[in-house]
Structure 1
Amino acid sequence: MEISDTLLLAGLVLALLVGLRWKRRGRRLPLPPGPPAVPVLGNLLTLDRRAPFKSFLKWSKTYGPVMMVHLGSQKAVVLVGYSVVKEALVDHADLFAGRAPIPFIHRATRGYGLVISNGERWRQLRRFTLTTLRDFGMGRKRMEEWIQEESKHLLDSVRDTNSAVFDPTFYMSRAVSNVICALVFGQRFSYDDSNFLRLLDIVFGLLRFISSPWGQAYNIFPWLLQWIPGRQHTVFGEVDNIRNFTKEKIKTHEETLDPNNPRDFIDCFLIRMNQVKDSPDTEFHYENLVSTVLNLFLAGTETTSTTIRYTLMLLIRHPDIQEKMQTEIDSVIGRERSPLMQDRTSLPFTDAVIHEVQRFLDIVPLGLPRCTMDDMSFRGYAIPKGTVIIPLLHSVLRDQEMWETPWTFNPKNFLDTNGNFKTNPAFLPFSAGKRSCVGESLARMELFLFIVSLLQNFTFSTPGGPDSVDPTPEFSSFGNLPRKFQLIASPR
């Protein structure tokens, strides 16, 4: 081959390689768009710290349903609207199954347990937790009977107020917490138990703190707030009180364990620990037990009791809806027997109201953040490994394309033209996909049975009248937390 031919061939090969390189470069996907950020603080200067979801909704009108925001130095992709959230969490469930490292929860649990874990730890713990809770009746008749029994204690405690004004906060949390305590600890606690009341007070305070601007600041700048004075240090001391309570219960279970007769979640975990103690890959060890029990106790107490309190608040605001629910309950169940889950299909209006309360409350507006475990692409954008994903559940529960009246409390969002209950795929208060709430079926059962029992026996009002109750949340960050209010329960 002549030198000129060799040079020509080499030139063609070089041109081909350069062309392929530029072609590949041209195919590289851009990062999602988003508001301009400044160093260190990112978008925090323009973020509504009391209600971050409001800023996300506003920005999405400019940058679209998949946008990049900077929370301090942390990049986060916010998903806005039912269509995109459903596509991510359900259609691409595996890609969005990672949990973001939430600093507050990570420190509270020492990095162990179900909620904060990823990979094999998460798979082992989630599978075991779901199976065990179902074995002990979650979503089944046995659990229904426990809730019915706890409802009687709740009704008695409300009856003891003798129509006097009271704060319903701990009335609801004692009842709801006792249900998860029966599952996890194998016991319920007396409503007068001072230690139990102290724990519930701590749980209530934890959710308030993490939903406050200072709590969100900890999640963004944990390296800074661990060195400066503030409420966060007291809060973590209170978390340790719950951890110590959990450890004491575990110790008691270890001393009285009968491998052939497990009584509750702790017993089942201890039995599994003994079975796989020689396995090098096991996630069934003491630290995961403590933190998973802590996860279940905290999550199983405050979110459901908050929803019940908010239900009563909205029914006071809308006495016509309360009266209509009571009329329906009286016609189907009467006032003598306890409600059953099978009654739900015969109570379409009541069922619609309970669903609408959850939609309107929007208790976790940002959803628990996910995290990409690998580099990935989504809707034409590149999302690097380690990016926080915020599935904005608020935008799903308020999606104007999915709800008839997204911004007002309206049970008709769950009723067809004939007054029958209708489902809506955008009803995702428990999130969706592989990271959806493990206690969803339990929460649904508790909400129905407790709320129907309360309305069966009492009419609720407040001293200042319906308009004196403010349904806007006190905090709207990690959680939407209703304001405290005074209640009067008049026997029917």
Structure 2
Amino acid sequence: MLGLRTFLIALPVCLLIVLYLKWLWSCKHYPPGFSVFGELWKIRTGLPQDFLIQWAKQKGKIFTLWIGPLPFVVISGFQAVKEGLINHAEDFVDRPETPFIKAAFKKRGIMFSNGHTWKQQRRFGQVTMRKLGLGKKGMEHQIAEEAQQLVETFAQAKGQPFDPSLPITNSVCNVISVLAFGQRFPIEDENFQKLIEALDIFSKVGSSIPQVAYEIFHWVMKHLPGPLTNFFSVLEVTLAFAKKQIENHKEFQRLHDPQDFIDFYLLQMEKAKDDPNSTYNEDNLAQCVLELFAAGTDTTATSLQWALLLITTYPDVQDKVQKEIEGVFGSSCLIFYQDRKKLPYTNAVIHEVLRSKYALLYGVARTTVKDVDILGFHIPKGTDVVPDMRSVLLDPEQWEKPEEFNPNHFLTEDGQFVTREEFLPFGTGARACIGEQLARIELFIFLTSLLRAFTFQLPEGVKELNQDPIVGFTMHPHPYKICAIPRYSR
């Protein structure tokens, strides 16, 4: 009896020792690093927004972050990210296939697929975005109309304090609706509001504790109720909404005159119906539509919310933008995206918003497709890599005043706009955001439209707005209210 009891005690101890030795052996194959759980206990007031930057100062520009038994190599700072994602772009081309990602996205669509599926879907996405008029005045007119709707909504506040976040999200979401479905939805539409609520849930799950727990204990977590159960439920509802739109398009097919993303995709399905290697199907189409909304709404809306917060906080910057716009265009002439070249200061302000208030906690993870050696470190094939894009945009080796909101980062001494290779808010390499051009057009047209119509001020009695973000995978500002004072009689 005593021998059995000793055996039952010794067995798990031996297994733990074996697992520990296996982990030590694994560590030798990765850049030096540490366990995230060994650091988190030190944090008393929540995860700081720049925790990866802080850890990089201690561990170096390339280090391994162990989440339980799972290694994630973090690449920090412009030079390291450039070496990895630009100079070795094809070596970092895959996305992770973690338990959560596989359960949520099922290797479909563009953002989290790999191999042949990813190549076909991404190529189609890039070509179709161009066909839909990005960079041309066709889509710009749609965005300008939505911007005018937002101006009308702001005007309804009659100069009184209001929260701009929901109207901004509605407007940006409707831009994607026109792109994907060929129509905008009224704000009171029940299905449209459910879609916006779903996008909010999506943004809160990424990098959350439940998601991390799912990655490590997925065989248990998938059976437990909680935030992830709600996430997967909302995911299915949203995909069902997309599939309903697909069915509507199939009923009134416009294969000879496609007008939106679904039309073009259905046309591509028809062309490829006899190709055994085709990945064009309704499941991938529904996933692509979901990604258009998830990626195209949250980050752009968040950036616009930050832009208004900063514009209100720095009235001298706001005044300078308004004077530049009036000096070039007056108060009524239409402004298009190509006109940004005539507005160097305004263009610099928009870039500085994206730099100083990066919309994500860090860049979307990649996976190495082969063994890679960068900057003296070896990263094995199949390693999940986190490019810390926040560290690039705040790199003190590249930016004069990285912690400050300073439009001069993008201006020459004589006030001309200058592009910066360190400016990478949309990612870089083979996985760079395919919606970058759309986001740039939206930010420019929305912001110039709003600043022509209003002067934004702090409510009476409010001395400042909170510039710290709510830490999540998407870095939203804390809720705030501002006053939109009409500049001209309406």
Q: Deviations over 1:398-452 (max 9, x none)?
A: 1111101001111111111111111111110001000000000010010000000
Tell me if structure 1 keeps the 8 A contact 2:199–2:293.
Answer: no
Does residue 1:34 correspond to 2:32, yes or no? yes
On the 8 A contact 1:47/1:55 being kept in 2, the answer is no
* Residue of structure 1 aligned with 2:148, choices 146, 149, 152: 152
Partner residue of 1:62?
58
**In the alignment, what sits opposite 1:481?**
476
- What is the deviation of 1:255? 1.1
Counterpart among 130, 133, 138 of residue 137 in structure 1: 133
Secondary structure in 2 matching 1:459: strand
> Aligned partners of 2:435, 2:335: CA distance in 1, in Å?
21
Aligned counterparts of 2:153 and 2:299: Cα–Cα separation in 1: 21
CA distance in 2, matches of 1:287, 1:309: 33
Pair 305,482 (structure 1): closer, same or farther in 2 beyond 3 Å: same
Structure 2 CA distance for aligned equivalents of residues 218 and 429 of structure 1: 28
Report the counterpart of residue 362 of structure 2 in structure 1: 366
Q: Which runs of 5+ in 2 are unaligned?
A: 1-26
Q: Helix, strand or coil: the match of 1:385?
A: coil
Match of 2:195 in 1: 199
Asked whether the equivalents of residues 373 and 385 of structure 1 are also in contact (C-alpha less than 8 Å), the reply is yes
Q: Tell me how far 1:73 sits from its aligned partner.
A: 1.8
CA pair 50-366 structure 1, distance change in 2 beyond 3 A: farther
Aligned residues: 461
Does the CA contact (< 8 Å) of 1:359 and 1:429 recur in 2? Answer: yes
Gap runs ≥5 in structure 1: 1-28
2-side partners of 1:305 and 1:68: how far apart? 33
Q: Counterparts of 1:245-324 in structure 2 under 5 Å?
A: 245-324=241-320
Considering only aligned residues, what root-mean-square deviation do their CA atoms show, in Å? 2.2
Counterpart of 2:436 in structure 1: which amino acid? E
The letter of the residue matching 1:479 is: T
Instruction: Look up the equivalent residue of 1:130 and give its one-letter code.
Output: Q
Cα drift, residue 105 of structure 1: 4.6
Partner of 1:20: none
Deviations 1:98-141 (A, max 9, x none): 11135545433333111101111111110011001100112222
CA offset digits 1:163-200 (Å, max 9, x no partner):
23222112111111111111111111123323212311
Query: How far has the Cα of 1:295 moved from its partner?
Result: 0.7
Any conservation in 1 of the 2:410–2:420 contact (CA below 8 Å)? Answer: yes
Structure 2: which amino acid aligns with 1:452? T
Shift of 1:466: 5.9
Indicate whether 1:390 and 2:398 are aligned.
Answer: no
* In 1, Cα distance between equivalents of 2:363 and 2:44: 17
TM normalised by structure 2 equals: 0.89
Judging changes above 3 Å, is the alpha-carbon distance between structure 1 residues 51 and 139 closer, same or farther for their aligned structure 2 residues?
Answer: farther
1:398 partner amino acid: L
Equivalent-residue separation in structure 2 for 1:184 and 1:49 (angstroms): 41
Please give the residue correspondences for 1:451-490 in structure 2 after superposition, counting only pairs within 5 Å: 451-463=447-459, 467-475=463-471, 477-490=472-485
Q: Offset at 1:216?
A: 4.5
Deviation, 1:294, is: 0.7
Shift of 1:223: 3.7
AA aligned to 1:488 is C
Structure 1 SS opposite 2:250: helix
Identity over aligned residues, as a percent? 39
Q: Matched residues in 2 for 1:47 and 1:80: separation? A: 21
> Which whole-Å CA distance do the structure 1 matches of 2:99 and 2:484 have between them?
41
